[in-house]
Amino acid sequence: MGVQEDIQRNDEGIATALGILTQAYGPRVETGLALREQHGHTTTWLRNQPPDAVIFPRSTEEVQGIVRICAAHKVPIIPFGTGTSLEGHVNAPAGGISLDFSQMDAILEVHAEDMDVVIQPGVTRKALNTYLRDTGLFFPIDPGADASLGGMAATRASGTCAVRYGTMKDNVLALKAVLPSGEILKTAARARKTSAGYDLTRLMVGSEGTLGIITELTLKLQGIPEATSAATCSFASLEDASNAVIACFQYGLPVARIELLNALQVRACNAYSKLSLPEAPLLLLEFHGSETGVTEQAELFGEIAADHGGTGFELTVKEEDRAKLWQARHDAYWAALQLRPGAKGISTDVCVPISRLAECVAAAEAKLDELGVMAPIVGHVGDGNFHALLLLDMDNPAEIEVAEGFIGWLNDLAISMDGTCTGEHGIGQGKAKYLERELGTGAMQVMGAIKRGIDPDNIFNPGKLALS
C-alpha cells in the first residue's frame, strides 16, 4: 500500500556517481547493508527500500558538491534527519544517495533580543532547548520524538504545543536550501514579516525534500513561561472528551497543550510508564503563564469539563509530576506496541475542523470496534488532529487488508468533513493516494508543475507526495 514500484533505477549513473563521491568524501560514504536499511523505512510499516549509499555532509558547501555530482549523473538524493517519519519519506524507491545530516548539528547564532536562532538541520529539538535554557527562551514545536529540526521543517511537523504556538510553518522565519541544480537558495531574512515576493520559505517547509535540501534554518523562539501547570481529566466517552475540548476553545481558554487518549491507550501508558490513571478516555492538558494565571486556567477548565461529564480532575504544578505525564504521552507509541507483543503498529492521522472532532473520533472508535482491530487513539485534539495506531500481525494478509480498508475509510471520512488526510504525518509514500482526493486535480497539477520546474530530472526524493 502506498509504495511506488515503477520508478526506474539508473544503475549506471548511481555506480559512476558513487565512485566519484567515495573518492571525494572517503569514509563518510557508507555502503553497508545494515546502515542502508536503517536509512530506509525506520519506524514506518512500509517495505524497506534502502539507498545505495549513505553520506554524512558537514556543511552547505558539501551538500552543494554532492548534489552537483548526483545531478550530473541523474542520481536520486533522499535527505535523512533522525528517521522518525511514519509515511515512508526516507525510502529510496529508485535507489540513490541518503544524505544523513547528523553531523550538521551546529547552533550557529542566537539572537536573544530578537528571539530567533540560526541552526544547521541536524540539530534536534531537545538539543536546541537544552542549549537555549540559560537565555530564558525555548523552541515550542514538540512532535514527541526527538526529531531533527531540518526534518521537522521538511515535513511541516506539528505536535503537542501546536494549539498555542503553531506548527513548523509558523515558526520558520527563513532557510537556506540546495536546489537540484546545485544552486543555494535563501528564502528570506530574519525580519518577523515580509511581503517581498513569493513565500519561498513556506514552499520549502512541508515539501518533504522534493524541491530542496535544507541546510540552514532561522527559527522563531518563545520566552520560557513564568509558570506551568498540568491537568488530567477522565470522561465516559471519546465524544464527551472531544465536546469538552470544543467548549474549552469556544470559551477562549488559552491552553498550551491538550491531548486526548482513549481508554486502550491509557491502559497501555499505565503499564509502560508505571502510572495509575483511570482507564477511561482522558484529556491531558498544560497551561503556560503567570503563577496565578495557570492555576486559574486549569480550574476553569475543570469546570468546563465537569459540564461534559468529566471526572477525576487533577492539577499539578510540580515539575517532576508534569514531566512524568508528558513523557508517558511521548512514549505512547512504544507503550501501545506492548498491548500486542510481536505486532507492528500502522500509525495514521487525520485532522478535521474542531466542530467535527467529536463526530469523527467517535466514528473512528466505533469502526475499529466493528472491525475487531486493536488500535489505541491519541490526538492533539486542540487543533482537531488525532492518530490511530493499528496493531497488526504483518504476516497475516487478512489483517493487512482490514487495516488498509480502515485507513482509507478514515481518510475519506476526514476529507468529507472538510478536513485533511494528514494533520502532521505528511504524505511521503503512505498517504500518496489520498492527496488528490483531498486537494483535487488542479492542485496536483500545480504542485507537479512546481516540481518539474525546480527538479526536472526528479532526483530529489522521488516517489513522494504523489508527484512522480
CATH topology of domain 105-223: 3.30.465
Task: Give the per-residue pLDDT at 468.
Answer: 61
Q: Which SS3 state, helix, strand or coil, does residue 57 take?
A: coil
Task: Give the per-residue pLDDT at 42.
Answer: 65
Q: Does domain 227-333 match CATH 3.30.70.3450?
A: yes
Whether 43 shows a pLDDT value over 90: the answer reads no
10 Å Cβ neighbour count for 252?
6
Q: What is the pLDDT averaged over residues 423-438?
A: 93
Whether 3 shows a pLDDT value over 90: the answer reads no
CA proximity to 213, closest of 105, 99, 123: 99
The answer to whether residues 126 and 100 touch, using CB atoms and an 8 Å cutoff, is no
Residues 6 or more apart from 435 whose CB is under 8 A from it? 421, 427, 444, 465, 466
> Domain boundaries in the chain?
11-102, 105-223, 227-333, 337-436
Q: How confident is the model at residue 44 (pLDDT cuts 50, 70, 90)?
A: confident
Least confident residue range of 173-187, 273-287, 315-329: 315-329
pLDDT tens digits for 257-268? Answer: 999 999 999 999
Interaxial angle between packed helices 238-250 and 357-371, expressed in degrees from 0 to 180 and rounded to the nearest 10? 170
Q: How confident is the model at residue 1 (pLDDT cuts 50, 70, 90)?
A: very low
- Rounded mean pLDDT of the chain? 94
Q: Under CATH, which number does the domain 337-436 receive?
A: 3.30.70.2740
Residue 103, phi then psi, degrees to nearest 5: -95, 0
Task: Give the per-residue pLDDT at 277.
Answer: 95
Residues 6 or more apart from 175 whose CB is under 8 A from it? 153, 186, 187, 188, 201, 204, 205, 214, 216, 217, 218
Q: How confident is the model at residue 5 (pLDDT cuts 50, 70, 90)?
A: low
Domains 11-102 and 227-333 share a fold: no
Q: Which SS3 state, helix, strand or coil, does residue 134 take?
A: helix
Q: What is the pLDDT averaged over residues 153-159?
A: 94
Q: Which amino acid is at 451?
A: K
Q: How confident is the model at residue 41 (pLDDT cuts 50, 70, 90)?
A: confident
At the second CATH level, the architecture of 11-102 is 2-Layer Sandwich (3.30)
Residue 423, phi then psi, degrees to nearest 5: -80, -30
